[in-house]
Chains A and B, each alone.
Chain A
């Protein structure tokens, strides 16, 4: 039976239901995979390894120590070989919401001690930029050690996970 009203034939309408279904599926997908950018994540290029023997970062109680590289030129695009020309000194250390300047590491040691107190199973993760010079990083390692931390987990790229422009080895 044709839908004919007294005013004439009914205007055609698109069936929106499948589109809404797909859209909601996409929203749910992106909500699940989306890593909400937290203050713990500092943008950097972590070391890329030759045949790495690394483990996945498990979802355990952890404290992430981010060591950010200080760029020699803040506007320089860091890709390819320029990655090495970008700098080699430390700009800051960030643990959670706290940021420490390189000359303020004593405060970092004090805070790390407080974090570690009563939480023996807490994992300490060092997330440092691969371009940093070891001499720049070592004072930070010393201060972490002084907080009573014996073992540390060093962050590196997972196999096939690193960017194509990662530093040559």
Chain B
């Protein structure tokens, strides 16, 4: 007799030991004698089929009624975590605009590392604050040549002027490329314009470009 609390593993098929099923020990004697149930000389197909339908032994798993099938890994949790990570990285990704550097000297005479030799014929680039026609902050630019200011409309003009006067590029230019170029901004000039003037001088081929202390204005 089957145990009262044991479930029937195969619905529609009598459980072993229940009325209507063959006694489980009926075929065990054949196996015990070493006779193969199928494939052997003495084996017959109907007998083998009967043995398959009514196995004499079932594992505990089969008895518990697990159905056959592929074993699948539950990926739901992993996908959840993965998407959380993805969203985090997308949100925190900072595609900041690229930045570069310009190497510069410091203002003269302001510290222990200031330039030692005062230049004889420095090119002074003067920058003053200015309001444009729209009332916005702008700049006024000129190059001081032997005390005379030569006005420059833009940084492009400044670059052109400096380049045409650079002896290393233009043989008619009076200034060698190691001639000191000093940028002299006034107090109210934006840092952007100061760096632009510096950039124009470097671009024009001058190697000795420095900042001066801020002037009044």
Binding site for B on A (CB under 8 A): 3, 5-7, 10, 13, 16, 19-20, 23-24, 26-27, 30-31, 33-37, 41, 46-57, 81, 84, 88, 125, 127-135, 137-138, 141-142, 144-146, 148-158, 161-163, 167-169
Contact = CB atoms under 8 A, between A and B. Distances in A.
Contacts of A168: 136, 138
**Residue among A19, A31, A133, A141 with most chain B CB within 10 A:** A133
A155 B68 CA distance: 67
A156 B197 CA distance: 13
23 contacts: A3-B69, A5-B69, A6-B67, A20-B75, A20-B82, A23-B82, A27-B85, A27-B89, A46-B99, A47-B196, A49-B195, A53-B102, A57-B101, A132-B191, A134-B214, A135-B186, A135-B214, A141-B110, A150-B105, A153-B101, A156-B100, A156-B102, A157-B99
Contact of A150 (B113, B159, B192, B199): B113
A50 B158 CA distance: 11
B99 A156 contact: yes
A147 to B, nearest CB: 8
B196 A35 contact: no
Nearest to B95: A33
Contacts of B150: none
Contacts of B214: 134-135, 138
Closest 3 CB pairs of A and B: A135-B187, A145-B111, A30-B89
Given A6-B11, A35-B94, A47-B192, 9 more contacts: A16-B79, A34-B92, A34-B94, A133-B188, A145-B112, A150-B113, A153-B103, A158-B97, A162-B97
A142 B107 contact: yes
B112 A137 contact: no
Nearest to A126: B104
B202 interface: yes
Nearest to B89: A30
A134 B113 contact: no
B97 A141 contact: no
Given A134-B214, A158-B99, A48 B110 contact: no
B198 interface: yes
Contacts of A13: 72
A84 B113 contact: no
A93 B189 CA distance: 20
Contacts of A7: 67
A26 B86 contact: yes
